[in-house]
Structure 1
Amino acid sequence: MSTSAAHSAELRLVVLGRTGAGKRSAVSTILGLQESQQDADAAVIQECSKHRGEAAGRQVVVVSSPAWFGTGCDPEERRRHISSFIALSSPGPHVFLLCVPVNQPADGEASALDVLQNLLGPSAVSTNTIVLFTHTEELEEEEQLEEYLATWRKDLQELVERCGGRYHTLETRSEEAEEGKAVEELLEKVEQAVRTSGTQHHSCPLYQEAEERVRARQVEIVTQRRGGDQVAPTDSQPEENITEEEMEAVREEAERSIGDLNVDVDSIFPSSLPSPAPSFLWGLWEKLTGWVSWLPKMLRREALLGALVGLFVGGPFGGVMGATVGSVATEVGRRKTQKNK
């Protein structure tokens, strides 16, 4: 099988997300990696990684990238990360999986979608991105993700709408055997996104540049290994004495050695781009969720609601109003729970 044929037969996924969003866990779940295999990547967690394996009967390549879309990333480091994940997922991914924690504000992820659209084109978001929700253990025991999004998290719903209504979670509340079903459902959504797009995979000028440079580098590597006195094989002229495994190894070496791509970092990442970490809402959210974390799950949301009212109204009156709202919401929740028993 030629290299191009192999690429068309595999599903290529690019996993993106902020630090702590659950990227490593998502990669491990999709490919069924063990803890020892996860630990092997710990030393290079700040670099792009590529894993190849089988999932739900399909050949899958998963590329994971550090959080290069925030303002805290050095411009040269950002260019290197972008070039790396594009080269590793060349000639183009079938989908981008944006890991989004359900227990945090979504302003950083909204900025990430803006950047992805500016970098790789509108279809990268509208057609080729699936929101992958993580940290769903924060939901109440009987609460469904769909209900949580519709009732409490309009910001997360907006992310889903920008991505064509596509979202998923790999986290299950039952036995581990359910993870296999969750992975299978994810890959079905990937294939559905590909069918909807009408293309083999996502492509844009940066991916085209990367693929051209990777192919040229493949020729150089094979020629060097043969002593430079023979013509290196190409996909159109495959060489009989080069195995598929050898060509795969040559390609991965080429992908990791092409250097920086022509990424206009200054125009894609304006200096005014907001960073999610220092924002007022981010700090407020962290403080509120911190002090209510010890409460029983049934009471957390009601307490958080009361706290928000108190803080935004302000003063003694705000404190009284917040306490009242929290108490009423808690009582309503308690009665609803008793009624359902």
Structure 2
Amino acid sequence: MSASGVQTELRLVVLGRTGTGGGSAACSFLGLQDSCQGNDNDQPDECRKYRGEAPGRKLLVVSSPDWFSSDCDPEERRRHISSLITLSSPGPHAFLLCVPVNQPADGETKAVDVLERLLGPSAVNRNTIILFTNMDELEEDEKLEDYLGTWRKDLGLLLERCGGRYHTLETRSGEGKESEAVEEMLEKVEQAVKESEAQYFSCPLYQEVSEKVKKRQVEIVKQRMEEDSVVTEKDMEEVLEEAEKSIGLLNMDLDDVFPSTNISPPSSPAASLLSALWGKVVGWLKWLPTMVRREALLGALVGLFVGGPIGGMVGATVGSVATEVRRRKTQKTK
């Protein structure tokens, strides 16, 4: 924030696995749906920086590819991280981690682990906000808070690591509510900044890059002035872009951030099978009556993770018992 207490610009970094809506989230913030077509369901291949405005605020949003997954090539990862740090320099006010409510949270948990090792614990516990996506997978009258507390303990644990901060831009209240959702999101960002007692997130890596960018900006401006060029405010935006492009790859020791013991090999047949089974279970549940949907999910998950004939029997038993308990509970409340 400025000395007058007025926020002149909010810098946001959007992170998420491919398909979690990171690109569409950035577009929603800035009203760039038309210019971002094609990126709604996939992360861009490169880090991208968007600029826009909201009531009383200027926004800068950096959308990043999925560089924290084990499938990312090490050289590509270094390039993506260097670009992300440079484009969001001198530091973001918040990291927005896109998390789909209908998928296991293992990928996002790894992302949080990586973010802590790369930038420090405060990047997560003070400056990360979870942005839930795929909200249409919830029942029509089901509240997100109830869903998280009852069915998704894994998301609850992830939420605790991020200081309990979360939001969603997907609304069910009809048209005209999107702007309110964005406004609420920005207010949460500003509240996180206030609670962190810092103007924005910073760490040695961001400080190093910021100094390099500033130094290069000065050099470019001096060069233009020596050429008798008048440097306007618009020119300074071009100077900044030129300075950012000159930074290149950062000197980072990523071996500690991505230790070999924490990077899984390419998907094994077992992992691929489990992923496929999860998709089938979720798809199958959509066709079940509302009364037994959650109970069936519980039983199916138990069967999946126990495995074998015993897992199948245990899962079926758990699902049946859970269904009966809910049926009796419903009868008592009538």
Fold shared, TM-score > 0.5 on shorter chain: yes
The amino acid of 1:304's aligned partner reads: L
Deviation at 1:320, TM superposition (A): 4.3
Number of the residue aligned with 2:172: 173
Number of the residue aligned with 1:123: 122
The separation in 1 between residues aligned to 2:295 and 2:90, in whole angstroms, is: 49
Deviation at 1:338, TM superposition (A): 8.1
Deviation at 1:265, TM superposition (A): 1.2
Q: Does 1:254 align with 2:247?
A: no
Number of the residue aligned with 1:24: 23
For residues 230-269 of structure 1, the aligned pairs below 5 Å read: 241-269=230-258
Deviation at 1:324, TM superposition (A): 4.2
| RMSD (Å), alpha carbons | 3.0
User: Per-residue CA shift, 1:226-266, capped at 9, x if unaligned?
Assistant: 4x467x9xxxxxxxx42222112211221122101121111
The amino acid of 2:303's aligned partner reads: G
User: Per-residue CA shift, 1:64-87, capped at 9, x if unaligned?
Assistant: 111111121111111111110111
Q: Does 1:52 align with 2:42?
A: no
Q: SS at 1:59's partner residue?
A: strand
Q: Which blocks of at least 5 consecutive residues in structure 2 are unaligned? A: none
Task: Check whether the contact 1:14–1:65 (CA below 8 A) recurs between aligned residues.
Answer: yes
Task: Check whether the contact 1:88–1:255 (CA below 8 A) recurs between aligned residues.
Answer: yes
The separation in 1 between residues aligned to 2:188 and 2:224, in whole angstroms, is: 41
The answer to which of 269-278 and 150-159 deviates more is: 269-278
The 3 A distance-change label for structure 1 pair 245 and 334 is: farther
For residues 221-232 of structure 1, the aligned pairs below 5 Å read: 221-226=220-225, 228=226
TM-score normalized by structure 2?
0.87
The separation in 2 between residues aligned to 1:312 and 1:89, in whole angstroms, is: 41
Q: Does 1:293 align with 2:292?
A: no
The separation in 2 between residues aligned to 1:277 and 1:189, in whole angstroms, is: 38
Task: Check whether the contact 1:292–1:300 (CA below 8 A) recurs between aligned residues.
Answer: no
Q: SS at 1:63's partner residue?
A: strand
User: Per-residue CA shift, 1:12-69, capped at 9, x if unaligned?
Assistant: 00001111111011111111222x3113769992100000101243111000111111
Task: Check whether the contact 1:214–1:258 (CA below 8 A) recurs between aligned residues.
Answer: yes
Q: Does 1:209 align with 2:202?
A: no
The 3 A distance-change label for structure 1 pair 215 and 315 is: closer
Task: Check whether the contact 1:86–1:210 (CA below 8 A) recurs between aligned residues.
Answer: yes
Task: Check whether the contact 2:117–2:256 (CA below 8 A) recurs between aligned residues.
Answer: no
Number of the residue aligned with 1:39: 37
The separation in 2 between residues aligned to 1:66 and 1:132, in whole angstroms, is: 16
The separation in 2 between residues aligned to 1:124 and 1:262, in whole angstroms, is: 20
The separation in 2 between residues aligned to 1:339 and 1:134, in whole angstroms, is: 34
The separation in 2 between residues aligned to 1:81 and 1:117, in whole angstroms, is: 17
Aligned-pair identity (%): 64
Q: Matched residue pairs, number?
A: 326
TM-score normalized by structure 1?
0.85
Q: Which blocks of at least 5 consecutive residues in structure 1 are unaligned? A: 233-240
The separation in 2 between residues aligned to 1:88 and 1:74, in whole angstroms, is: 21
